[in-house]
Amino acid sequence: MKILATIGLTTALTTMTIADADTINLSAMTCREFLQTDPVRVNLMIAWFMGFYGNVQDPQVIDLNKLEGIRGQFMTFCKQQPNFRMTATADGLLGSPPEPQLIGAVHSRPH
């Protein structure tokens, strides 16, 4: 199932036309706009939020098995609060983003 979800997401992202390749400003987007967004882009945004707010110990992992549930949480909240900004919504649903760390700080050893 995980492989199918990965293939589906990859296919969706690679088959977008050039006309669809515009930018998405998540900091300016409201829940109302999010609810009006096509499902492929919704999944892309949720995957991005999952990566951004993800585990500090493994920041490059997106659990596709959790994507559906998290998308449902966003949809439910956004229907109730259409004027909320998406970044504020993500903060509330996924927690604060991890603190930025210096490059190599996680793997550095005392000398």
Residues 64, 2 contacting (CB under 8 angstroms): yes
Output Rg (C-alpha) for the chain, integer angstroms: 16
Does 105 score more than 80 pLDDT? no
Alpha helices for 22-95 (secondary structure H): 31-35, 39-52, 64-80, 86-94
Domain range annotation of the chain: 25-94
Is the pLDDT assigned to residue 33 strictly greater than 80?
A: yes
CATH topology of domain 25-94: 10k-s Protein, Hypothetical Protein A; Chain A (1.10.890)
- Taking 70 as the threshold, does the pLDDT of residue 20 lie above it? no
Q: What is the DSSP string of 24-37?
A: --TTT-BHHHHHTS
Maximal C-alpha separation, the chain? 54
Would you state the pLDDT for residue 108?
Answer: 47
| Among 88, 77, 107, residue whose Cα is nearest residue 49 | 88
The per-residue pLDDT for range 57-101, each reduced to its tens digit, is 666 677 788 899 999 999 999 999 999 999 999 999 988 766 655
Average pLDDT, the chain: 76
What's the pLDDT at 86? 96
**Band of the pLDDT at 14, cuts 50, 70, 90?**
very low
- Its pTM surpasses 0.85: no
The sign of the CA dihedral 80, 40, 71, 100 is: negative
